[in-house]
């Protein structure tokens, strides 16, 4: 009671003691603070801070204030009518802007990025990162098992596509070249933004950023003395999936917290029944499907996040970030459907519980110092566990292979701003420790099995430093320059084993890389701008490249290669941003990537022998080798048509080609992707209708090494497909909203390019959001 009276008394007497007029800008659906909202009238302006607050005292009572933000519809309001809470409605999920990494204050995207924001709208009906990227961007997804999804951005996937979360790289030294599922350990409910980065991102991030990167930033503590809670529940009919999410901002004295947890339980996934492609049996696998239900695609996942912000004196602060993710076993559907002489080849093939633990601490120091205005120190530790468990139908034993990985990161980043010049520079290091174990297990005994990676352990170390500078050449032209040096050492050790031996017992790989970038942005008018850039990138051979011993069961076995060198890229990009007749915006990006010394899986010999005995089979030897060159060309087009502030049409197209030096098709090159999204944004209602389309991928356009899983396609390749989808969101009041959706309304049967799993059929979705 005392607290309530004190708050009422403060509200009553406050206006009499100050001329300051503080308002807060929030999202109309989520009530989250909106940062960088601009209030302006003539030559007067004010900008909201990270908590959405700003001071309107400089405006006169009769001023008509225009409120604008790149992610929200503009709003006009008379100064004397302004209330303490201003609500803005989002206008689109795609934005063109220069983005900055929230935690490290470093450039991440320049002019060639897409930003998916605000993430809450997408969470209402998309329960996984894969579905968000597939529905809201030009990223394509490969799926070989449930609960996963390997993103492909502009033909770069797996260990060629950098993925970071909160400034910490998820790419590690056992990232494979095929398809990786690590992004599935990121819970979309915890996210603030997803940045799809192009341009000279390799200067900042280095190893793994061959040309593009996916940057995930999670929500963090809010420095305000109130508590906010968000509860969400989702249901999906096609897999009988239930998802429970919770997150909260709260405080204790001068400590500010953010906590979230999520539980997801999915049943078996049903594929579509409408086979417009004409292949009546495609996807209906022996003993692993019943009608349209794909068996053993059920799984569960649990995620947890906690952040603590500790404000210090003189604009300093500490941020502690803890994340943990784990899952049930996840069956490898594209292996369980393998058949030999009309009998399933495997009785069991599954990934063990996939565990990811991240602990980081960041120190921030903002102030006008000689060498910096902003300083960030990031220390991070990750512990990852992944395992593969395989039992052939003809065997009474299951082979278990377990990989344990510990990663240590240390980064220092500084930014100094002058009148027309900004300098960003930093240095850091990374160490990765890999332990690979394996054993066979029968009903009565445990015995030896070969490991996937060197059984004596592996260590990878990186040291790097970089610098960037941005400045205005003139009032229309801005230039970005950057450079980065990286030193890498990889050591892998082989102990004698019972199965095989190599002509070496140790691999020592040392590499130096120096990369550079230049970007020029030219603004012809407020409605027309151009950008062009040239940048280089690199990827050091990792343990998966140089030391892996494994077979996909396709008659080949991959063995180590001690002579690998880094693959390097040269990238060039041209872009156009335009606005026509005040309501049509479009962006065109043309890009080309040339990869030299590209690492590719090729046939090889070992000790003059082309066959290798592995897991009971005599298999043809393959190695990862540096081929002379490869290239990727493509374009991306995005149109936004704003018929009104409430009705928006968004359409996009993404097209790629990729070949090696001998004109053989490259792996990871998806077909033409087009999306169409029509959205009506009302004050309390949101209606969304969207179409997803993939063109045909011809049989002859698949890679020869089998990375793209040609055996999972038809005899003519992967047929074209499209889905029609709709979503309705209703805001009941400031504390409650719900969404209803139907995905794949036509119940179309299709597979994503490179996937072994048929995608969901008609899917009814329900989502409830509660705020308190």
The Cα–Cα gap between 525 and 435 comes to 57
Look up the CATH number of domain 213-771: 2.40.170.20
Given pLDDT bands bounded at 50, 70 and 90, which one contains residue 142? confident
The β-bridge partners of 319 are 309, 362
Q: Which residues contact 677 (CB under 8 A, 6 or more apart)?
A: 93, 649, 650, 651, 688, 689, 690, 691
Is there a contact between 67 and 86 (Cβ–Cβ < 8 Å)?
A: yes
Longest CA span, the chain: 91
| Buried b or exposed e, range 143-176, using 16+ CB within 10 angstroms | bbbbbbbbbbbbbbbbbbbbbbbbbbbbbbbbbb
Measured in Å, how far apart are the chain's first and last C-alpha atoms? 20
* Per-residue model confidence (pLDDT) at position 4: 41
Say whether pLDDT at 148 is over 80.
Answer: no
In the three-class reduction of DSSP (H, G, I as helix; E, B as strand; rest coil), residue 767 is classed as strand
Question: For residues 638 and 415, what is the distance between their CA atoms, to the nearest angstrom?
Answer: 32
The domain limits of the chain are: 18-88, 94-205, 213-771
Task: Centre a 10 Å sphere on the Cβ of residue 610 and count the other Cβ atoms it contains.
Answer: 12
Q: How many angstroms separate the CA atoms of 495 and 606, rounded?
A: 18
CB 432 within 8 A of CB 542: no
Which of 761, 745, 741 lies closest to 126, judged by CA?
741
Q: Does the structure show a pLDDT above 70 at 716?
A: yes
The 10s digit of each residue's pLDDT in 327-337 is 999 898 888 88
Distance CA 301, CA 329 (A): 10
Cα–Cα distance measured from residue 625 to residue 604, given in angstroms and rounded to the nearest whole number: 9
Q: How confident is the model at residue 202 (pLDDT cuts 50, 70, 90)?
A: low
- Band the pLDDT of 207: cuts 50, 70, 90: low
Question: Is 70 exceeded by the pLDDT of residue 48?
Answer: yes
Q: On the CB side of 197, how many CA atoms lie within 13 Å of its CA?
A: 32
Strand partners, 477: 522
Please determine, for residue 590, whether its predicted confidence score (pLDDT) is greater than 90.
Answer: yes
Question: What's the token pair of residue 754?
Answer: 């490179």
* Helix (H) / strand (E) containing 398: strand 398-417
Using pLDDT thresholds of 50, 70 and 90, give the confidence band for residue 204: low
Helix, strand, coil % (nearest 5) of the chain? 10, 55, 35
pLDDT at 376: 94
DSSP run (H or E) holding 203:
helix 201-205
Express as a percent the part of the chain with pLDDT over 70.
88
Model pLDDT for residues 343-366, shown as the tens digit of each residue? 888 999 998 888 999 999 999 998
Q: In the prediction, which pLDDT does 44 show?
A: 74
- pTM given for the model: 0.82
Average pLDDT score over the chain: 84
How many whole angstroms separate alpha carbon 174 and alpha carbon 622?
18
For 527, residues 6+ apart whose C-beta sits below 8 A from its C-beta are: 578, 579, 580
- With beta carbons less than 8 A apart as the criterion, state whether 201 and 210 touch: no
Q: Other CB atoms closer than 10 Å to residue 696's CB: what's the count?
A: 16
Cis peptide before 118 (omega within 30 of 0): yes
Please state, in angstroms and rounded to a whole number, the distance separating the CA atoms of residues 178 and 299. Answer: 23
Q: Please compute Rg for the chain using Cα positions.
A: 27
Alpha helices in 474-552 (DSSP H): 543-547
Residue 100 has pLDDT above 50, yes or no: no
Q: Are 691 and 721 in contact (CB under 8 A)?
A: no
Spatial neighbors of 513 by CB under 8 A, at least 6 apart, are: 206, 207, 484, 485, 486, 488, 538, 540, 566, 568
Work out whether strand 717-718 and strand 697-698 pair parallel, antiparallel, or are unpaired: antiparallel
Cα-Cα-Cα-Cα dihedral sign, residues 694, 699, 701, 703: positive
In this structure, CATH architecture of domain 18-88: Sandwich (2.60)
Predicted confidence at residue 462, as pLDDT, reads 94
Q: Are 387 and 373 in contact (CB under 8 A)?
A: no
C-alpha–C-alpha distance, residues 153 and 138, integer Å: 7
Residue 166 confidence class, pLDDT cut points 50, 70, 90: very high
Question: Hunting for tokens 């502009």 — which residue is that?
Answer: 154
DSSP string, 330-343: EE-HHHHT-EETTE
3-state SS class at 393: coil
- Contacts of 438 by beta carbon, 8 Å cutoff, 6+ apart: 399, 400, 401, 402, 449, 450, 451, 452, 455
- Between 144-148, 435-439, 586-590, the lowest mean confidence (pLDDT) is in 144-148
How far apart CA 612 and CA 607 sit, in angstroms, is: 10
Provide mean pLDDT across the span 253-257. Answer: 93
Do 601 and 554 touch, CB atoms closer than 8 A?
no
Q: Among 17-21, 125-129, 152-156, 759-763, where is mean pLDDT lowest?
A: 17-21
Predicted confidence (pLDDT) at residue 459 exceeds the cutoff of 90: yes
**Number of Cβ atoms within 10 Å of the Cβ of 537:** 31
Q: Choose among 729, 716, 714, 723: nearest CA to 682.
A: 729
What would the two tokens of residue 191 be?
């996210």
Q: How many distinct helices (H) and strands (E) make up the chain?
A: 6, 52
Is the pLDDT score of 395 beyond 70? yes
Q: Where are the beta strands (DSSP E) in 253-397?
A: 255-266, 269-270, 289-290, 293-294, 299-311, 316-327, 330-331, 339-340, 343-344, 346-351, 355-366, 374-392
Question: Is 540 within 8 Å of 488 (Cβ atoms)?
Answer: yes
- Domain 94-205 -> CATH class: mainly beta
Length of the chain: 772
In the predicted structure, residue 378 carries a pLDDT above the cut 90: yes
Would you say residue 613 has pLDDT above 50?
A: yes
d(C-alpha 24, C-alpha 19), whole Å? 16
pLDDT band, very low/low/confident/very high, at 231 (cuts 50, 70, 90): very high
In this prediction, residue 282 carries a pLDDT of 92
Arithmetic mean of pLDDT, 378-397: 93
Across 200-216, average pLDDT: 70
C-beta separation of 481 from 201 below 8 A: no
Give percent of the chain above pLDDT 90. 37
> Kind of pairing, strands 316-327 and 567-580?
unpaired
Instruction: Please say if the pLDDT value at position 19 is more than 50.
Output: no
Mean pLDDT on 530-559: 84
- Quote the tokens at residue 287: 């003993």
Residue 11: enclosing H or E segment and its boundaries? helix 2-17
| Cβ(270)–Cβ(239) below 8 Å | yes
Our CA dihedral for 735, 740, 743, 745, rounded to 10 degrees, sits at -160
Question: Looking at 697-746, which runs of residues are DSSP E strands?
Answer: 697-698, 717-718, 721-733, 736-743
Residue where the block lists tokens 């040339």: 594
In the block, tokens 């209906």 appear at 284
- Quick one: DSSP state of residue 182? G
Say how far apart CA 366 and CA 218 lie, in whole Å. Answer: 21
Q: Minimum mean pLDDT among 277-286, 369-378, 462-471, 700-709: which range?
A: 700-709
* CA-CA-CA-CA torsion sign (372, 374, 379, 383): negative
Nearest to 238 by CA among 768, 753, 757: 757
Report the pLDDT value the prediction gives residue 92, as an integer from 0 to 100: 42
By CB atoms closer than 10 A (0-12, 13-18, 19+), residue 58 is middle
Helix (H, G, I), strand (E, B) or coil at 313: coil
Both tokens of 280, joined, read 């009546």
Spatial CA neighbour of 106 closest among 209, 181, 223:
209
């Amino acid at each position: 009671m005392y607290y309530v009276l004190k708050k009422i008394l403060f509200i009553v007497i406050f206006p009499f003691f100050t001329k300051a007029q503080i308002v807060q800008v929030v999202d109309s659906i989520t009530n989250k603070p909106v940062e960088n909202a601009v209030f302006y009238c003539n030559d007067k302006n004010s900008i909201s801070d990270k908590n959405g607050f700003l001071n309107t005292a400089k405006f006169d009572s009769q001023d008509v204030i225009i409120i604008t933000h790149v992610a929200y519809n503009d709003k006009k309001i008379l100064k004397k009518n302004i209330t303490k809470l201003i609500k803005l409605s989002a206008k689109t999920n795609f934005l063109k802007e220069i983005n900055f990494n929230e935690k490290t204050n470093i450039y991440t995207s320049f002019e060639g990025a897409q930003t998916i924001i605000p993430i809450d709208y997408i969470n209402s009906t998309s329960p996984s990162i894969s579905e968000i990227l597939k529905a809201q961007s030009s990223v394509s997804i490969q799926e070989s098992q449930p609960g996963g999804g390997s993103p492909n951005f502009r033909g770069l996937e797996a260990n060629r596509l950098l993925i970071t979360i909160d400034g910490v790289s998820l790419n590690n030294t056992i990232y494979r070249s095929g398809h990786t599922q690590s992004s599935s350990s990121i819970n979309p409910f915890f996210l603030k933004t997803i940045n799809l980065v192009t341009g000279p991102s390799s200067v900042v991030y280095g190893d793994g950023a061959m040309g593009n990167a996916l940057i995930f930033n999670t929500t963090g503590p809010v420095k305000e003395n109130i508590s906010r809670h968000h509860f969400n529940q989702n249901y999906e009919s096609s897999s009988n999936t239930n998802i429970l999410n919770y997150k909260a901002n709260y405080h204790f004295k001068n400590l500010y917290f953010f906590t979230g947890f999520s539980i997801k339980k999915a049943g078996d996934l049903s594929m579509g029944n409408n086979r417009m492609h004409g292949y009546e049996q495609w996807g209906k696998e022996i003993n692993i499907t019943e009608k349209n239900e794909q068996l053993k695609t059920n799984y569960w996942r649990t995620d947890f996040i906690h952040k603590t912000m500790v404000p210090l004196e003189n604009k300093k602060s500490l941020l502690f970030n803890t994340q943990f993710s784990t899952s049930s076993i996840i069956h490898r559907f594209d292996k369980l459907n393998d058949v030999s002489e009309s009998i399933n080849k495997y009785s069991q093939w599954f990934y063990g519980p996939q565990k990811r633990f991240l602990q980081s601490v960041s120190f921030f120091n903002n102030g006008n110092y000689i060498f910096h205005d902003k300083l960030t120190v990031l220390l991070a530790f990750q512990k990852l566990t992944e395992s593969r468990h395989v039992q052939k139908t003809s065997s009474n034993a299951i082979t278990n292979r377990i990989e344990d990985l510990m990663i240590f990161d240390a980064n220092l980043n500084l930014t100094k701003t002058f009148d027309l010049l900004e300098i960003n520079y930093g240095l850091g290091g990374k160490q990765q420790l890999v332990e690979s174990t394996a054993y066979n297990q029968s009903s009565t005994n445990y015995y030896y099995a070969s490991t996937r990676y060197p059984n004596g352990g592996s260590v990878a170390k990186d040291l790097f430093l970089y610098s960037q500078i941005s400045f205005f050449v003139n009032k229309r032209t801005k230039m970005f320059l950057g450079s980065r040096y990286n030193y890498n050492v990889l050591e892998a050790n082989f102990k004698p084993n019972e199965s095989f031996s190599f002509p070496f017992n140790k691999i020592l790989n040392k590499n130096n890389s120096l990369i550079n970038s230049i970007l020029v942005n030219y603004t012809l008018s407020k409605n027309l701008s151009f950008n062009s850039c040239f940048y280089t990138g690199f990827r050091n051979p990792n343990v998966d490249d140089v030391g892996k011993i494994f077979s996909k069961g396709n008659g080949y076995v991959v063995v180590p290669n001690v002579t690998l060198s880094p693959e390097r890229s040269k990238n060039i990009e041209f872009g156009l941003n335009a606005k026509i007749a005040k309501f049509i915006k479009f962006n065109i990006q043309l890009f080309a990537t040339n990869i030299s010394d590209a690492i590719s899986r090729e046939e090889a010999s070992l000790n003059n022998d082309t066959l290798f005995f592995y897991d009971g089979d005599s298999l043809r030897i393959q190695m990862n080798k540096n081929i002379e060159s490869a290239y990727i060309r493509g374009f991306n087009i995005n149109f936004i048509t704003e018929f009104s502030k409430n009705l928006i049409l968004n359409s996009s197209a993404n097209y790629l080609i990729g070949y090696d030096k001998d004109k053989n098709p490259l792996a990871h090159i998806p077909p033409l992707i087009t999306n169409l999204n029509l959205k009506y944004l009302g004050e309390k209602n949101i209606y969304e209708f969207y179409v997803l389309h993939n063109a045909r991928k011809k049989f002859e356009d698949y890679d020869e090494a089998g990375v793209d899983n040609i055996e999972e396609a038809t005899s003519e390749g992967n047929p074209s497909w499209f889905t029609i989808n709709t979503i309705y969101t209703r805001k009941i009041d400031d504390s409650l909203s719900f969404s209803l959706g139907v995905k794949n309304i036509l119940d179309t049967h299709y597979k994503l390019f490179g996937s072994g799993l048929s995608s969901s059929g008609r899917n009814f979705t329900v989502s409830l959001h509660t705020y308190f």
